[in-house]
């Protein structure tokens, strides 16, 4: 597969997944605030500011807005075209990537994505956002569901599918950690484990579409230990970090053709190590080391996987074919190969 095609398919799905997750996050937290109408302006800022901090776009937000209230944060994450990670911007980027590889997509898939793009840029979309935000975000979520469903039903399980599935699960895992990280930025007195933060944990579960699955597996109110354990280490829930990393590792090995347990590039090496850490990790260990520090390190590994994926299949697409599978335990071979590459 051409590296340009692989990159476009990968980013097309990542952007769609990003729009879906942002729509969930904004809608859920907006509805929760309806149950806390007595919050003053200071408490409202304390509620929305952690959401901006968790996305990593706080510098751009500060440049564009002087306040961090509900209206400003919602606009920044929804339809602010100056924000490249807003819902409107990510859908536009997804469509542009799809346009460049339209011959790789089914007609139904292109029509679904193009229809979503036309909706968010239409007058009807603008009116719906101002009159009924809940319905607006629901429309976006349903369109992304349809997109993933049509893709699953119409795309052959070839390298194209593997790059698309890889982009979806890498973006999903990253956003799950960022949703969990919101609690790290809560004001003093509303830290993880405190009863006052229960509605925050509920919002995080609902943002991940995990509340029903969580209640089926746990009794009682959501707590730091139970929510972190479920969203980080569950082997069955499709939005847990562990589940997504397992799929990422499978996708990478399907693309390279190397058996799992070995690696032919650094993306596979990082994903394999991360999967092992998640398979044997525990909630107690996360809280002992600090939730924010643990999530920050995990997000850095996601970024490293993305960077190594680019180096292997986009920047130097032939590199993966020239490297034989290296057993994970044979570190001397890895060091020798790295030294040879540096000398070249």
Query: Which pLDDT score, from 0 to 100, does residue 187 have?
Result: 56
Residues facing residue 260 across a β-bridge: 262
Contact criterion met (CB below 8 Å) for 287 and 227:
no
Contact criterion met (CB below 8 Å) for 214 and 204:
no
Per-residue pLDDT of the chain (344 residues; tens, 9 = 90+): 678 899 999 999 999 999 999 999 888 877 666 555 554 455 555 567 778 887 888 889 989 988 877 788 889 999 999 999 999 999 999 999 999 999 999 999 999 999 999 999 999 999 999 999 999 999 999 999 999 999 999 999 999 999 999 999 999 999 999 989 887 766 554 444 444 456 778 888 988 989 899 999 888 788 888 999 999 999 999 999 999 999 999 999 999 999 998 999 999 999 999 999 999 999 999 999 899 999 999 999 999 999 999 999 987 544 444 445 545 444 455 444 444 544 44
d(CA 306, CA 288): 28
Helix (H, G, I), strand (E, B) or coil at 300: helix
Query: Which pLDDT score, from 0 to 100, does residue 315 have?
Result: 79
- What is the pTM (predicted TM-score) of this model? 0.84
For CA atoms 202, 206, 208, 212, the dihedral sign is positive
Q: Give, for 262, the enclosing helix (H) or strand (E).
A: strand 262-263
d(CA 151, CA 170): 17
Residues facing residue 262 across a β-bridge: 260, 327
């Amino acid at each position: 597969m051409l590296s340009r095609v692989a990159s476009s398919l990968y980013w097309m799905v990542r952007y769609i997944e990003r729009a879906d997750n942002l729509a969930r996050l904004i809608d859920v937290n907006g509805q929760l605030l309806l149950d806390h109408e007595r919050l003053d302006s200071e408490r409202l800022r304390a509620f929305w500011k952690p959401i901006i901090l968790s996305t990593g776009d706080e510098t751009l937000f500060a440049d564009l807005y002087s306040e961090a209230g509900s209206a400003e944060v919602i606009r920044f994450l929804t339809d602010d075209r100056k924000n490249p990670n807003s819902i409107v911007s990510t859908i536009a980027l997804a469509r542009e990537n799809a346009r460049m590889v339209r011959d790789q997509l089914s007609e139904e898939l292109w029509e679904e994505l193009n229809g979503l793009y036309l909706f968010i840029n239409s007058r009807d979309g603008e009116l719906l956002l101002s009159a009924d935000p809940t319905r607006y975000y629901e429309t976006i979520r349903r369109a992304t569901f349809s997109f993933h469903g049509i893709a699953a039903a119409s795309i052959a399980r070839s390298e194209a599918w593997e790059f698309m599935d890889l982009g979806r699960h890498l973006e999903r895992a990253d956003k799950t950690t960022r949703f969990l990280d919101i609690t790290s930025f809560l004001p003093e007195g509303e830290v993880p484990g405190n009863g006052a933060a229960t509605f925050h944990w509920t919002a995080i579960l609902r943002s991940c579409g995990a509340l029903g699955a969580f209640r089926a597996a746990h009794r009682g109110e959501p707590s730091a230990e139970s929510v972190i354990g479920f969203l980080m280490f569950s082997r069955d829930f499709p939005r847990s970090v562990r589940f997504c990393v397992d799929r990422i590792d499978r996708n990478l090995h399907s693309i390279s053709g190397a058996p799992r347990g070995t690696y032919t590039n650094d993306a596979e090496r990082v994903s394999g190590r991360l999967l092992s850490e998640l398979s044997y990790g525990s909630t107690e260990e996360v809280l002992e080391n600090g939730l924010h520090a643990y999530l920050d390190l995990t997000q850095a590994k996601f970024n490293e996987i993305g960077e190594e994926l680019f180096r292997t299949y986009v920047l130097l697409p032939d590199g993966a074919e020239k490297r034989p599978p290296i057993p994970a335990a044979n570190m001397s071979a890895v060091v020798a190969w790295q030294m040879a590459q540096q000398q070249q």
